[in-house]
Amino acid sequence: MTRARTLLLHLSVCLTLLVLDLWTKAAIFRFLGAEVIERPGTTPVLRAERDHVIFPGFALEAAINLGAFNGMLSGVPWLLLGMGVVAAIGTLVIALLPPRMPVTLSVALGMIAGGALGNLYDRVTYGAVRDFVKWYVGDHVWPNFNIADSGIVVGVSLILLHEIRLSRRERAARAGSTPEAGDLEPDES
């Protein structure tokens, strides 16, 4: 894909994920009667009225995260803010560096940028990231997350998948064989 198309796809995916993330956070927090209360000079506090079980093992539950995954780095909010800015700008730069970019990578970078911007917005506005998706099995609970987090994970997974396929292709070329049809990505020019 050319740089112009890469830029258009990257920005489209980024903005779509950002809007979807911010909309779902606002809508679900409103549905759950949840509110982030920020007092100057103190840690934000969550006020929530209820949770909503969709089915056993999956629920909507308002939560705030002062750090990254499961609260890591919560003591250094400036680092998390900086990482969000670097991720958003860095993905755009990476997408525009090569003269041609595969569609998969452009989408992946757009998802990472959109997720980074969604969580960056929350950190700046609320002092914490709003999370609402809860998966659990019995007493075992996965840390709550949101659409932005999902976008980042899917984006990174797409990049890893692309690199694995590329590595297989290169190994097959060195060995003089042809990779399986499923290992090849179509020409995305």
What distance in Å separates the CA atoms of residue 70 and residue 144, rounded to the nearest whole number? 8
Residue 160 corresponds to which tokens in the numbers above?
């890893």
Q: Which domain holds residue 89?
A: 3-183
Q: Is residue 39, in this structure, part of any structural domain at all?
A: yes
Q: Is residue 36, in this structure, part of any structural domain at all?
A: yes
Q: Is residue 189, in this structure, part of any structural domain at all?
A: no
Q: Helices marked H in the chain — which ranges?
A: 3-31, 77-96, 103-126, 147-175
What distance in Å separates the CA atoms of residue 96 and residue 57, rounded to the nearest whole number? 41
Give the pLDDT of the chain (189 residues) as one tens digit per residue.
Answer: 888 899 999 999 999 999 999 999 999 999 999 999 987 777 888 998 888 999 999 999 999 988 776 666 566 666 778 888 999 999 999 988 888 889 999 999 999 999 999 999 999 999 889 999 999 998 999 989 999 999 999 999 999 999 999 888 888 888 876 555 555 555 454
Q: How many domains does the chain have?
A: 1
Q: Is residue 188, in this structure, part of any structural domain at all?
A: no
Residue 103 corresponds to which tokens in the numbers above?
């569609």
Q: Is residue 79, in this structure, part of any structural domain at all?
A: yes
Q: Which residues are catalytic?
A: 131, 149
